[in-house]
Amino acid sequence: MYAVMKSGARQYRASVGDTIRVEKLPVEPGEQIELDEVLLVVDEDEVKIGQPAVEGAKVLATVVAQEKGPKITVFKYRPSKRYRRHAGHRQRYTRLRVDEIVV
């Protein structure tokens, strides 16, 4: 059994026991979270497709950690104009462990 759910602006495929990395959510590690924007649920032969979400379906997950992604370096440069700009960015993520898929 698996579900396709939406968190933020992205969609994720989740099965029970999986760990997934979603965009940062305002929760503490160890808390349980309920994601109710489930777009698709597949249970062996049965497929439920939402329009846009499956009614009554939700994914229960536990927050494992708040973490950062790899550093991305941005460097702008204009030759012979003495223009240089250097910036860095690290995206923040929340790691979730899927406990249950409720239909």
Which neighbouring-strand residues pair with 40?
Answer: 4, 49
Determine the pLDDT at residue 37: 95
Q: Which residue has the tokens 């997934």?
A: 20
Parse the chain into domains and list their residue ranges. 2-102
Of 63, 64, 62, 60, the C-alpha closest to 100 is 60
Reported as a pLDDT band with limits 50, 70 and 90, residue 19 is: very high
What tens digit of pLDDT does each residue of 73-84 get?
A: 999 999 999 999
Q: Strand 2-7's sheet: what is its strand order?
A: 10-15, 2-7, 38-43, 46-49
Is residue 59 classed exposed, middle or buried when 0-12, 13-18 and 19+ CB atoms within 10 A define those classes?
Answer: buried
